Structure 1
Amino acid sequence: MISTHLQLERKLAWVYLINLVFYLIPLAINAYPAWKIALSFAVLIPFIASYFWAYKCNQNSAYRPILMMVAIATAITPINPGSISLFTFAAFFIGFFYPLRTCLLAIAALIGLLFALNEIYDFNSYYFPLYGSGLVLGVGMFGVAERRRHQHKLKEQQSTQEISTLAAMVERERIARDLHDIMGHSLSSIALKAELAEKLLAKQEYQLATIQLNELGQIARESLSQIRHTVSDYKHKVLADSVTQLCKLLREKGISVELTGNIPKLPARMESQLGLIVTELVNNILRHSGASQCIIDFIQQADRLVVEVKDNGPSKPIAEGNGLTGIRERLDSLGGSLSYNLEQGYAFTVSLPLQGATD
């Protein structure tokens, strides 16, 4: 069942109207009087309005523009038998919006209408109803196929959203568990030490109170160190997630991606800057390269991290703009460098020093 909030994709709506050329063919090959030609063109205004009205409808309201299209096609039939084309638009929306059983019954009614019009207006052959029946049935089944494609797409989107939501829930639970494990015992110890020190001070046992306060400070420093380490791990995961999302974005744009090497654990500032650099390089591929393949490679050497971003797009001389200039500025602040070659597509190499890196 189509969701009540689902609308047809509109980007090809105008393209599909090219099928109206079949409606205009009889006007071109027959010597119709001017008033028939004018009337045939005039009815296209409400028909096209009904067509786009259908694009905005859901299953509960789609019957209105469909009936309007059928009524217009029926009314113009005695003047222009090219109205067969108009009936096919109605058949498409019937197939798209309604279950197969309802669709088949409605299309059978349309076919019956074509035969009735043939008898009423005595077209002297069965070309009109037979040819029209084939088109109406075929286009109606195309509408059914489109409906199923949209249903499948919606299920995929829903599954992706559910996975993302579940992943976020798991991540929140992990963070909560980590914070509880890190801080729960430490805060209990701090509270206990502070209470003991307070009692010792009240008894004027200053030496023992000093020992408890020193231990309290040590616990606080250790807890702070653990929190920093945990936050650093989270930031590292953010970089890995960013690279994963960039790979997903490339694949969605039809570019195959190969991610090689391991993303190392880096200081927070370096991770943040590197994430922005890789994002800019990927955006350049999406905007300019025309590539079909991309490789992102993390290479960890003894004292350096090398990140290579390569694609197979047709290369042209590079005029460095704000993007590459921004990358160089970020790398300068980290003591790194950027190089590239254009021999086989675009290949960018980022080099960062690892020695002396601290949070």
Structure 2
Amino acid sequence: MINKISQQEDKLAWVYLVNLTFYLIPLFFGDKPVWQITLALLALIPFVYAYFWAYRSNKHHAYKPILVMIALGIATTPINTGSLSLFTFAGFFIGFFYPLNRALQAFIALAASLFALSYFLEISHYFAIYGTGLVAGIGLFGVAERKRIEAKCKQQQSQDEISQLATMLERERIARDLHDIMGHSLSSISLKAELAEKLLAKGNIAQAQTQLQELNGIARESLSQVRETVSGYKHQGLQASVANLCQTLRDKGLSVSLVGDIPQLEAEVETQVILSVTELCNNIVRHSNASHCQLQFSQDESQHCICIEDDGDSVDITEGNGIKGIRERLNKLGGSLQYRSQPHCQFSLYLPIAGAH
């Protein structure tokens, strides 16, 4: 599920505000007193704030700016029937952030509010009918937009995983090349050193010096080759490690789901997380009879959460050296480890977000 509208979509936020034209039209094409026009225009200030607030919210907090938009719509209806425009913005965000069944309930409540306003303010019933149609239509557009962005995110996630796998294969190739270089070079160095030793024992100083010079040349050449190879072989990072673990689990016959965005962590924290997640995935491979495993990454204002769950047989969990090691690593980072075995085995790693209070 999407928590936030993507940064690329966020750039279009100002463009969508053009729909406020329908809010302004009744103000300047009707015979309204100046005070009503002034109040209606002032109401746009908190509305625009709530609009961008909603744009940058997640599904857990989006209800706050949505309620502000609805409240402003209700408050401005007595002085401007163009308030329907404010209700449609609220309808869009309801459809975008919430499942269809909850969104439909919210649309019904909005429709009831419109009919109540129409009745108590003695506005034409077309206000409620037309407004209900607009809210429902724009709200369903919000649902479709959420589906589109979800599909886009999943596609991007798959592409990232494929890219990480390709990078890992290249690094494995470099590692093999490094092994071949070192194996050949060390064999040559050993042979030259042994020959020089024998020549020295026989008193052939000049020939021994020649062998030692060649040995020195081989060592320097090997050092240059190693540096050149290692320059492209750096720490693969959390994303690549997770992709590698997912592939390992799939190679063992498990289906794997990767949910959420993998966070960017400091190098020290990332190393400890990689070791911990690797230990848990290895436990699944060694001890679980699971057919499916899910790795879920999430976060709130104060902490990251990494949840690893499999559908293997429920067993009593005994803390061995592996789990104790994970707990110690997390404790040093200010985090914690939680787990359960019913109905399936689930481990959750919690890490504080740097700078969060």
CA shift, 1:213, in A, is 5.4
Q: Judging changes above 3 Å, is the alpha-carbon distance between structure 1 residues 54 and 226 closer, same or farther for their aligned structure 2 residues?
A: closer
* Partner of residue 55, structure 1: 55
CA shift, 1:5, in A, is 8.1
Residues 7 and 58 of structure 1 are in contact (CA less than 8 Å); yes or no, is this contact kept in structure 2? no
Question: Structure 2 CA distance, aligned partners of 1:216 and 1:37?
Answer: 91
User: What do residues 227-280 of structure 1 show as CA deviations (whole Å, max 9, x unaligned)?
Assistant: 89x98xx9xxxxxxxxxxxxxxxxxxxxxxxxxxxxxxxxxxxxxxxxxxxxxx
Residues 26 and 81 of structure 1 are in contact (CA less than 8 Å); yes or no, is this contact kept in structure 2? yes
CA shift, 1:221, in A, is 9.7
Question: Structure 2 CA distance, aligned partners of 1:110 and 1:86?
Answer: 12
Residues 94 and 139 of structure 2 are in contact (CA less than 8 Å); yes or no, is this contact kept in structure 1? yes
CA shift, 1:151, in A, is 1.3
CA shift, 1:216, in A, is 5.1
* Partner of residue 96, structure 1: 96
* Partner of residue 26, structure 2: 26
Structure 2 length-normalised TM: 0.57
User: Percent of aligned pairs with the same residue?
Assistant: 63
Residues 76 and 83 of structure 1 are in contact (CA less than 8 Å); yes or no, is this contact kept in structure 2? yes
Q: Which has the larger radius of gyration?
A: 1
Regions of 4+ moved over 4 Å: 4-8, 205-228
* Partner of residue 39, structure 1: 39
CA shift, 1:89, in A, is 0.5
Question: Structure 1 CA distance, aligned partners of 2:113 and 2:152?
Answer: 34
Matched position secondary structure for 1:94:
helix
Matched position secondary structure for 1:3:
coil
Matches within 5 A, 1:225-304: none
Corresponding position: 1:86 with 2:86? yes
Question: Structure 2 CA distance, aligned partners of 1:108 and 1:92?
Answer: 14
* Partner of residue 240, structure 1: none
Question: Structure 2 CA distance, aligned partners of 1:212 and 1:121?
Answer: 104
Q: Judging changes above 3 Å, is the alpha-carbon distance between structure 1 residues 185 and 81 closer, same or farther for their aligned structure 2 residues?
A: same
User: What do residues 311-331 of structure 1 show as CA deviations (whole Å, max 9, x unaligned)?
Assistant: xxxxxxxxxxxxxxxxxxxxx
* Partner of residue 108, structure 2: 108
Amino acid at match of 2:16: Y
Corresponding position: 1:134 with 2:146? no
Corresponding position: 1:149 with 2:130? no
Gaps of 5+ in 2: 233-357
CA shift, 1:196, in A, is 4.0
Gaps of 5+ in 1: 235-359
Q: Judging changes above 3 Å, is the alpha-carbon distance between structure 1 residues 54 and 187 closer, same or farther for their aligned structure 2 residues?
A: same
CA shift, 1:136, in A, is 0.3
Amino acid at match of 1:94: I
* Root-mean-square deviation over aligned CA pairs: 3.1
CA shift, 1:215, in A, is 7.6
How many residues get paired?
A: 230
Question: Structure 2 CA distance, aligned partners of 1:201 and 1:5?
Answer: 75
Q: Judging changes above 3 Å, is the alpha-carbon distance between structure 1 residues 203 and 113 closer, same or farther for their aligned structure 2 residues?
A: same
Corresponding position: 1:190 with 2:189? yes
